[in-house]
Structure 1
Amino acid sequence: MKTSFLAHGKVIIIGEHSVVYGYDALAMPIKALHIKTTVENNPEMWMDTARYHGSFFDTPSEYDGLKYVVKTMQKKANNNEPLKITYTGEIPMERGFGSSATVALGTTKALNQFFSLNMSESEIMAVTNHAEMINHGKASGLDAATVNSDYLVFFNKKMGPKVLQAKLGATLFIMDTGELGNTKKAVAQVSQLLSESEQAKANMKRLGELADLTKKAWINHDVKTVGNIFNEAQKILHSFNISTTKIDQLQKIVLDNGALGFKLSGGGLGGITIALCESQEIAENIADKCQDLISNYWVEKI
């Protein structure tokens, strides 16, 4: 028997880090980036990924969230028969695309089908979000909600996800710096800063307010305001010491060549950046200027 499930990635538009502290955030699914989870019977518990091939429960600690998912699903099914779980896809790891949430959700849904558990959506999301807590130390639930959505997600920890189907009427230029981000380290670093600095707390509150302002501007198709918000958010994220020299270099090139706004996306300390452009032509021109600094890029109509 074999079952597969395809789950897509995500990009945070605004509200990374502040969403962990109860503020709002806005994120969008990226359908072009996905990972397929395939589950099948096997003589022993086995995992196949681009980076690891071997015994499932001997995997490095970075796979602890997935180990939790599999053990939990086996327990729910009352079935400990060995399985081979294979991951194939195109989401770069540790960049801010939600790869850990994508594989946690994909594994939960694939095993739900494999074991015919008929779990509810809320039960599936509970397992996925617990895996994210294991992966990142402190997870808001935003990544899991967005990789499980076909539309833009406006998210709050208390209220949960709300779908936002409105289009802004612009182009989002996404760049992979090629530098591995580290969400767990970034979250711990920001938490430490907040415990020491009143200014950091004020900045975090402002970051949360910017998410609400983005939603209003988005619904009103106010592209320039969203661009200004991106730039203000990046100043705040930079003040949290989670930007990098390369991200700062990209910011200058992007803004010097016609983008309306620029910010890092995700945990920071590397990973991806996003720029708001009025057209695809502007985005492609910026891509040419940045090609020596980035490992890949994507252009999305938003």
Structure 2
Amino acid sequence: MAIERGLAKNTVAAYRRDLERYINFLEGRGIQRAENITRKDVTTYSQDVRDGADGGAPLSPRSAARAVVAVRGLHKFWVLEGTTTDNPAAEVQPPAVGQRLPKALTIDEVRRILEATQPETPAGLRDRAILEFLYSTGARISEATSLDVDDLFVDRSNDGPGMVRVRGKGSKERIVPMGKFAVEALDNYLVRARPLLVTKGRGTPALFLNLRGGRLSRQSAWTIIQQAAERAQIGKEVSPHTMRHSFATHLLQGGADVRVVQELLGHASVTTTQVYTHVTVDTLREIYASAHPRARL
């Protein structure tokens, strides 16, 4: 997965945890060799991880499905490598996962979050910059925290739009435009805050820095977003992905083509992006039902 398929580090880490749990499950059943694993063993594991009967934490349907996919991949790998001749996991299907519609903020809620920073401090300038960046580009939080300063492109001569090189899942690169507000917030951060923060560390090309001058972590960025949402008194759970969902939903509501949104989000398939169209359709239905004189009861 890491070398041949080039998948992201976080994806590889998640599958590693799943497979370590599977190996512990097998050892608990006294199974030491791959060829001794039966379909019943795989099915039992699939059931046990959902309720924690194997001794681990219970998994959500989505995480349990990923765990089964990891096990199926392992057994397929063993067959391809000649470790075993049979694949007892081939017909074990992952548990069904219901479609989870993304939760988007309203435009006013996003504005309140963006304005709930303290721009008079270096940390506040950084927080405003990362919040504006996430909403302006729809980038994943891991993509934002992995950015370097050299990944930014702004055409100063013609007052052109900002552009950024984003490295997505599987190290795939894409170029994404940035809006005026994001460019302005990044400029303020780069001129007034980052030089102060970088002197506290050992020097790094990272765009977003923590208070010690090192690269900002995903966990710290998550905290920045949650604290801004609390200060803005947003009465719902807000995560980095909420900003991404809001970016996509607001673009579609504004008339953007779904394939353009797909490219901006870095989705490999337009099917993944189409989940946002359901949100937009629901919104249209609500507006129609409340506004049309022949739609109301």
Question: TM-score over 0.5 for the alignment?
Answer: no
Q: Higher relative contact order at CA 8 Å, sep ≥6: structure 1 or structure 2?
A: 1
**Larger Cα Rg: Structure 1 or Structure 2?**
2
For normalisation by structure 2, the TM-score amounts to 0.24
Compare the two structures and name the one with the higher strand fraction. 1
For normalisation by structure 1, the TM-score amounts to 0.24
Compare the two structures and name the one with the higher helix fraction. 2
